[in-house]
Structure 1
């Protein structure tokens, strides 16, 4: 519990002090997430709240360090946990069209520690950004190995209006093996002459190995961006994947 409270306080402090990072690019946000889960043996639904933050810090001519994290609080039929997650990315720009690098991530549910490492690449094509990653992780509590491959496309209708879609594959290897697929659609709109935006995302997840699990999640929230437009935030490397959504088995 102390770990959870410390992580929550850290993210909240980040949010409060975000204006101090005005020379950098990043964001802080808050969202409500509703999830409905069905399997062969049970069905459940529930709502959670989430606070997140991200900042991209240039280090040298081409390198960028991106730090992002979130705290998700649930108290429903699916989960009654507080989950704190964080990731650190080191990426470099190649010309004006590629960003490549790697990351390390840590997620801390109530009674578990999940860590991961991965490689990522991002291709900038005018108003379109294509992203892909591969990751490996371990869950101490489950004594499990986890694998993930994810891809996403972002289309900027304008510099402050983004639509996105993603696909993901995850594998859990412990006493049994399980695979899951997920697909998502979302978007974000930043209001003119302000740093504020509203966003939404829908994610569908399926796993035949986990009692024919099917999950539908809808997230809506608000976000404050510092350092430029949504497109500038993306190009600066401030919108890289967070630890909480890296592996698709969690319903968040």
Structure 2
């Protein structure tokens, strides 16, 4: 388990354990959390060196830029391409996720990444062409995209994303990162692979729906087919986000009806 990031030829490897952030509950791979910071290993030609990476408030672990305090020796030259200061001198190094992921030397990683982003770009274009969402710049565009993608996966469209569930529904870290890499898109699959019935069911389900309804719909998709799912969901004590009973029932019932009809239509 791990995410790698290249910076001047280095490799950032998150540890193999999982830790739930006490601030937001998001689970991330890490080793030995200390005061909200995480120990990580930097491995490169000069060997392996341990540093710490902070989980800053209102940022997702593994997304965007990280400021990591490093006790640098030869590591500074490795990471930043700069002359190395004296050993033991603290220095801030910017760590970013790479456009290309996978083990070092994996020549197919860039192509797989480009195809995955291509599929996402086609899905965003599909949403715009059908009047669902006119690009990511609209109000809460990225937030809504996660919900649309999860619901579309439930109706059979191909997307190489795994989703976690937060209080506001389905969320994919990999999808969020890819929304900032749309220029990397190449190829990719068409939404619903030409299945007109699945596409029609998706559009009927999400058209004109507010973000709160879409959040609930992702829970409904996750629980679809399980007896008592609506009642169980409504019985769970609510935390920061409050879902009213009317909207909750509407989302669960509509998901069950439309996705059920779509499943029956499959020959």
TM-score by length of 1: 0.27
Structure with the bigger RCO (C-alpha within 8 Å, sep 6+) is: 1
TM-score, normalization: structure 2? 0.26
More helix as a share of residues: 2
Highest Rg: 1 or 2?
2
